[in-house]
Amino acid sequence: MRILALDLSLSATGWAHEHGHGVMGTSSSDERELRLDLIRGFAISAPVDLVVIEDFVTRSPAASVLGMVHGVVRHALWAEGRLVALVPPASLKRYATGKGNATKADMRMALFQRAGLDVRDDNAVDAWWLRAMALDHYGHPLVAMPQTHRQALEKVAWPELAQEAT
């Protein structure tokens, strides 16, 4: 199953897929539109069955910039006919840690404890957990998770994938 997970950000988009995880950074000295275009291009470049994106909280101080990034990427994915699942931040945190209000440090520690990965960038950590959620939902868990954590999967509207993808 080919899944691309994205924790969108104008400056450092976290990503995870079957070949690894990391951060796609953009330069703050570049025009905003160029940065948006780079992120959009990155999001549609991988041949995948599903793109999983951490949704954003509109009450956030960064909501206007995040809204731009989300709008550009989600429209590009729609135009390409890609399936997308949006994961509420509290559901992502609950899946990873058991707490919907977990801190960035909690998320990172959970990744280390469950998968033995010491990932230093918070965006890459979130992307790793987004991919893990999707794989778990479709029956291919990366790590064993307690049922209390797995209840977070029910809060996501997962698209139906073609048989060969699952």
Q: What is the pLDDT of residues 12-53, one digit of tens each?
A: 999 999 999 999 988 999 999 999 999 999 999 989 999 999
What is the chain's Cα-based Rg?
Answer: 15
Q: What is the pLDDT of residue 162?
A: 82
Domain boundaries, the chain: 3-165
Q: What is the pTM of this model?
A: 0.91
How far apart are the C-alpha atoms of 28 and 96, rounded to whole Å?
31
The domain defined by 3-165 folds into Nucleotidyltransferase; domain 5 (3.30.420)
Low-confidence stretches of the chain (pLDDT beneath 50):
none
Do residues 70 and 151 make contact, with C-beta atoms less than 8 angstroms apart?
A: no
Do residues 98 and 148 make contact, with C-beta atoms less than 8 angstroms apart?
A: yes
